[in-house]
Amino acid sequence: MIEWTDRIEIGSDIKDVKDIQPNFLKIAWDKPMEMESETLYEITEIDGNNDFLKMQNFLRFENGKYQGRESIK
């Protein structure tokens, strides 16, 4: 998951990110978390994930453009 999110070009349109989403990830595109000018979409499932810390992972967009990944405990 980290490798995929790191390869997404900063400034990519949300539609383009959706188009390249790998099958091993489920993203809550229909439940955005909006904060001022940012929108976060939670990665709700990662096949084969063994995250002992139980981190929440998000894709961060600003004005519809990809800005990176965020992880929260």
Quote the tokens at residue 36: 């001022």
Contact 48, 55 (CB under 8 A): no
Q: What pTM was computed for the model?
A: 0.85
Block residue for tokens 């070009």: 9
Domains belonging to the chain, first-starting first, are 2-72 (3.30.1450)
Q: How many residues does the chain have?
A: 73
23 has pLDDT over 80: yes
pLDDT in tens, 40-72: 999 987 776 655 567 789 999 999 999 999 988
Q: Which residues contact 48 (CB under 8 A, 6 or more apart)?
A: 24
* Model confidence at 1: pLDDT above 70: no
H or E stretch at 66 = strand 65-72
CA atoms within 13 A on the CB side of 6: 3
